[in-house]
Amino acid sequence: EAQVTQNPRYLITVTGKKLTVTCSQNMNHEYMSWYRQDPGLGLRQIYYSMNVEVTDKGDVPEGYKVSRKEKRNFPLILESPSPNQTSLYFCASSLFQNTEAFFGQGTRLTVV
Amino acid sequence: AQSVTQLGSHVSVSEGALVLLRCNYSSSVPPYLFWYVQYPNQGLQLLLKYTTGATLVKGINGFEAEFKKSETSFHLTKPSAHMSDAAEYFCAVSGAPNTGNQFYFGTGTSLTVIP
């Protein structure tokens, strides 16, 4: 089954404790993205990747890191999480930038 | 940066009534345009998209949208609302000039269907 898998689904952590949210897709897609969803703000793109080893900043990259060492995986790293990073995060992949995006189920992160 | 405006953060319609969700974008050059739907506790799902060609685009679940370049709009419609249409709807844009390969979403419209 074609899918985008994010883990974990829920995470509560403390300020400053490094964490990684994993994202994996099994569709051989080139384009992958991370978004955060906040009430009243919709989805905002954090980082995206056009292909392996090619990543770029989206609208809200501060406080986040990504890597794309393999085509299928695109982890999101928070080196030192802060409470303002409490949000719902989505990973998405698409064959190319302007084709249908497939979304993961989301990761609800709370930083206390 | 690209701007995507969805007028009305909450829309309520009666079951069987017309659904109209509005989306305007700021690019002077037609970008790629999308509508996504999000059901509670789920990720987003593509409803329809406009890339080139016919300006009236048909999507899943009876939805359609019309690209109007002169109005920089891409409004979503459905002739007859069903209870199962209750969800959050997002308009999105990519491929606009000077935006690199970024993707921009509107702030979303929550659709309520009244029985």
> What pLDDT band is residue B104 in, cutting at 50, 70 and 90?
confident
- The tens place of each residue's pLDDT in chain A, 112 residues long, gives 889 999 999 999 999 999 999 999 999 999 999 999 999 899 999 999 999 999 999 989 999 999 999 999 999 999 999 999 999 999 999 998 778 889 999 999 999 9
Strand-pair partners of B87: B111
pLDDT of B28 higher than 70: no
pLDDT of B100 higher than 70: no
What pLDDT, on the 0 to 100 scale, is given for residue B101?
Answer: 73
What pLDDT, on the 0 to 100 scale, is given for residue B1?
Answer: 64
Among the listed residues A45, A43, A41, A36, the one whose alpha carbon sits nearest the alpha carbon of residue A81: A36
Residues B50/B44, Cβ–Cβ less than 8 Å = no
Among the listed residues A30, A39, A48, the one whose alpha carbon sits nearest the alpha carbon of residue A91: A48
Among the listed residues A79, A70, A71, the one whose alpha carbon sits nearest the alpha carbon of residue A111: A79
Residue of A nearest to B1 (CA): A59
Chain B partners within 8 Å of A105 (Cβ): 42-43
What pLDDT, on the 0 to 100 scale, is given for residue B54?
Answer: 85
pLDDT of B98 higher than 70: no
What pLDDT, on the 0 to 100 scale, is given for residue A99?
Answer: 83
Residues B97/B80, Cβ–Cβ less than 8 Å = no
Of A4, A33, A104, the CB nearest to B103: A33
Residues A25/A90, Cβ–Cβ less than 8 Å = no
Q: Does any CB of chain B come closer than 8 Å to the CB of residue A108?
A: no
